[in-house]
Structure 1
Amino acid sequence: MSPDLALGTYRCRDIPQAAAHAAACGALWIDTAPNYHHGQAQTQLRPVLAGNPDLRVSTKVGFLTPDIATAASDAQVLTPAEAATGHCLTDRYVTWQSRRNTAELGRKPDIVFVHNPERAVRPHDAIAEAFTALEAEARAGRIGGYGVATWTGFEDAFSVADLLAIATRCGGPGYHMMAIQLPASLVMLKPVAQVLDGTGPLAEATAAGVDTFISAPLHGGELPTMVTDELAQLIDPGTTPAEAALRVTASTPGVKHILLGSGRAQHWKAAERVLTLPPLPDKTLHEVIDVLGA
């Protein structure tokens, strides 16, 4: 089954317009975070979410903006030392931020991701503390579930198996850990190479029934200018560099949702067309990996 296209709001310039367009195109998910768009992303999404009750939303806990740090400090859930780091995953802060997310979004988040826990001095301990808080929120019905969104964490800080073990310790067999988010692209090819060998986070998540969200499939919009015509033709003859790059991510086994950070109709339409195509053969993916030396 082909992955679906979701809106990612990290580098989205016009969030209300992009969200409205994504909803009109039948997108199932919007992904955001309290620190995106100078701390305004969630409140900007609120009207679109209110008008589209079937649209699901994932958000995050972890990073602080100056306004968040001030509000959390005033609420006595953040120490000056924690505020100075710009990132916090203590149980008291995670609980506070999760409820603040709900207030800003105007609805219960379907997933709350623990954001880049690899930044912590002891990532496993930080994840456990955050999972404990989020498990309580899920059991109280204030969030749908939780997971981990990471940039490099699966390289050396933790594995999906680690996350599941921590979730079991924090929530027992009925835990609400349900998803991971990570980059996979022509720049970040390691997860692609791993899953083709039956290893890595995508393979582990698939085996465990954990949902997968792929961030930065076009590496922040930079990939189309980095893909040569020769590479594009190797991937899919006759395609554009952007479409070729997205085709690799869409063809990667275990990918369920691809976050596109654009609200432009032409970009969304082109991406939708790519996702309707059959996946590339594993042989082609291996050739791309060999060419790029991943």
Structure 2
Amino acid sequence: MAPTRTLLEHALTTGVTALDTAFNYDRFTGHRVLARTAGELLDRFEVSTKVGYFPDGHILAPARLRAAVEQAVADLGRPPDTVFLHNPEREPSGLAAACEGLAACREAGLCRAWGVATWNPAPLLAVAFTVDAKPDVVMVRAGLAVRGEALDAAERLTVKLGAGDRWGMAPFAGNPNDPVWSKVDASVFLEPGQSASRIQAGLAAAFALPAVSRIAVGTSSPQHLAELAAAVRYTASSGVVAEYRELLRAGAGR
């Protein structure tokens, strides 16, 4: 769902200055809708987007990816700051060529940075050695809903690809409004002396599962956005996170 003008204005007042979208969102109209809704506000945000899905399927052919990036520039009225390969694990054999294609987009000024956004990084580990172009960032699932092996794979992929940064996404399994998150108490992950809401504690924990510098979270509520934005003041305990990771590995039979 595209953000409203009111939500974008509220985001700026709460210190949120980054937006994440994709070429295929809103039935391939998301970029145009965002530009129309945001108007002059769009230049106050850092915009990341993803390419790889097309009306005729998931395609990593470099020419198709470049055409999608060029269309994103036209629809947004400006180059996106970061462009990601969208779920390349659907076609691992195309990873190397796709990375070269997005690196060329960056060199051509069609974006400032590029990266790999993967829901399931494990299939990419076997082909990461074929990639010569080094992504600026890898985006992976983060948070308490992510299984231990996926956390390990995300960290390994970041290293194998030589990415300069790692971002997180979907910390609440894609639905932060699900009532279950009002029942899950993630405060045990916080450093002592911190008092946060359950949603805020869950987001703070997600920043450490795996370690990421930013997290993409979807919301349509200004109140919920303010609560999430305030979560960046809280810090997860590295000791508790390490113990939790070991429990996950033990549960997986490692």
Aligned residues of 1:49 and 1:105 also touching (Cα < 8 A): no
Aligned to 2:124: 158
Shift of 1:41: 1.5
Shift of 1:221: 1.9
Q: Distance in 2 between matches of 1:230 and 1:211?
A: 29
Alignment partner of 2:124: what SS?
A: coil
Q: Distance in 1 between matches of 2:245 and 2:230?
A: 21
Task: Pick from 47, 56, 67 the counterpart of residue 96 of structure 1.
Answer: 67
Aligned residues of 1:247 and 1:280 also touching (Cα < 8 A): no
For structure 2, the 5+ residue unaligned runs are none
Q: Distance in 2 between matches of 1:216 and 1:205?
A: 18
Aligned residues of 2:84 and 2:114 also touching (Cα < 8 A): yes
Q: Distance in 1 between matches of 2:110 and 2:76?
A: 13
Aligned to 1:171: none
User: 1:16-68: per-residue Cα shift (whole Å, max 9, x none)?
Assistant: 4433332333323211111112222211221426434242111111112xxxx
Aligned residues of 2:196 and 2:234 also touching (Cα < 8 A): no
Distance 1:288 1:144, change over 3 A: closer
Q: Distance in 1 between matches of 2:68 and 2:97?
A: 14
Aligned residue identity for 2:50:
K
Q: Distance in 2 between matches of 1:225 and 1:31?
A: 24
Aligned residues of 1:223 and 1:245 also touching (Cα < 8 A): no
1:67-78 matches, within 5 Å, as: 69=55
**1:35 equivalent in alignment to 2:24:** yes
Q: Distance in 2 between matches of 1:222 and 1:16?
A: 21
**1:114 equivalent in alignment to 2:103:** no
Identity %: 25
Alignment partner of 1:100: what SS?
A: helix
Aligned to 2:47: 57
Q: Distance in 2 between matches of 1:214 and 1:108?
A: 22
Aligned residues of 1:46 and 1:106 also touching (Cα < 8 A): yes
Aligned residue identity for 2:61:
T
Aligned to 1:137: 105
For structure 1, the 5+ residue unaligned runs are 1-11, 70-82, 169-174, 195-199
Aligned residues of 1:49 and 1:55 also touching (Cα < 8 A): no
Instruction: Point out the more displaced range, 110-119 or 209-218.
Output: 209-218
Task: Pick from 141, 144, 154 the counterpart of residue 183 of structure 1.
Answer: 141
Task: Pick from 188, 211, 215 the counterpart of residue 169 of structure 2.
Answer: 215
Q: Distance in 2 between matches of 1:254 and 1:215?
A: 12
**How many aligned residue pairs are there?**
246
Q: Distance in 2 between matches of 1:94 and 1:167?
A: 18
Aligned residues of 2:204 and 2:235 also touching (Cα < 8 A): no
Shift of 1:286: 2.4
**RMSD between superposed Cα atoms in Å:** 3.2
Shift of 1:259: 0.7
* Bigger RCO of structures 1 and 2 (CA < 8 A, at least 6 apart): 1
**1:278 equivalent in alignment to 2:235:** yes
TM-score relative to the length of structure 1: 0.71
User: 1:184-215: per-residue Cα shift (whole Å, max 9, x none)?
Assistant: 12111427853xxxxx4336637945222211
Aligned residues of 1:30 and 1:58 also touching (Cα < 8 A): yes
Q: Distance in 2 between matches of 1:269 and 1:289?
A: 33
Q: Distance in 2 between matches of 1:119 and 1:209?
A: 20
Alignment partner of 2:174: what SS?
A: coil
